[in-house]
Chain A
């Protein structure tokens, strides 16, 4: 299946802004995060097709996954 993955802010550094990824059926949000070696200690909110999604959520063909680092400064 094909999933569009969008990375934001510091997660883009050394990776990409947006990429169509070919994934095996049954892949989860968490699998993509780990596959891209996104640092868990900085992980913020994750949106799947515009709605926040849990780590265990299974992806479907045509999904768009947007992954943000946590931001808390002022």
Chain B
């Protein structure tokens, strides 16, 4: 970490300045982010957070890479088939900056020690199924942790920030008997990257105490018609 501190004024983060200040860069080097899911969304989120200089990243995912991941998952390729996703992620982050402290947990986040989960400053929801997303939102609420939600399907996606007490995911996923459009549409590479980029931006804002409209709004993204619409949340008309 000392090397990271030196890097605040070194070449590695020079292109982050002045979008963020030197003191904000130092804040990021001390920051702790947990990423649940190391697939289409999670790998891109981690790539962006590592390049921003987030100093402590924890990632949960029990899976290995398979062929159907190659269309969208950053580290899925013919050489990584069958390899553990989080371990490949560790190597990737190490190559970006060996001083980033990355904790890789080849398990579902639900199986993790509570202490590891609770020590994060922000949790990123990069999961691929709705029941686990709802459980994660509940766990974040119990631990009083902000959660950055992102989901993708086909050309479409959504992003929002869930602060403790916010039940927005219950609105977005009100009926567990329904399924997301990704079951029929799959997920495209650029959709995962765009949604992950937005999640990374929201994560950085939370870490730096910057204001974000997505604490009170849901952003819906349509890459086919190039539309982005935002809606107020937390009020349901009955």
* A interface with B by C-beta (< 8 Å): 8-10, 12, 17, 40-45, 47-48, 50-54, 56-57, 66, 68-74
Query: CB < 8 Å: which of B153, B155, B222, B233 contacts A72?
Result: B153
A40–B184 alpha-carbon span in the complex (Å): 14
* Interface flag for B212 (CB, 8 Å): no
Min C-beta distance of B13 to chain A, whole Å: 28
A69–B48 alpha-carbon span in the complex (Å): 28
Contact B172 A51 (CB under 8 A): no
Contacts between chains A and B (CB distance < 8 A), count: 119
* Chain B contact residues: helix, strand, loop or mixed: mixed
A48–B222 alpha-carbon span in the complex (Å): 19
* B interface with A by C-beta (< 8 Å): 37, 39-42, 126-130, 133, 150-158, 171-175, 177-182, 184-187, 192, 218, 220, 222, 224-225, 227, 229, 231-233, 235-238
Besides A72-B129, A74-B192, 16 more A-B contacts (Cβ < 8 Å) are A8-B229, A9-B154, A12-B225, A44-B173, A45-B231, A47-B231, A51-B231, A52-B233, A53-B238, A66-B229, A70-B172, A70-B173, A71-B181, A72-B128, A72-B182, A74-B37
Contact B236 A10 (CB under 8 A): no
**Given the interface contacts A45-B172, A51-B237, A52-B237, does A72 sit within 8 Å of B151 by beta carbon?**
yes
Q: Kindly list the 5 A-B residue pairs having the minimum CB-CB distance in the complex, ordered from nearest.
A: A73-B182, A72-B180, A74-B128, A9-B156, A74-B41
Min C-beta distance of B221 to chain A, whole Å: 9
B-side contacts of A41, CB under 8 Å: 177-179
**Given the interface contacts A17-B225, A71-B158, A74-B42, does A9 sit within 8 Å of B178 by beta carbon?**
no
A-side contacts of B126, CB under 8 Å: 74
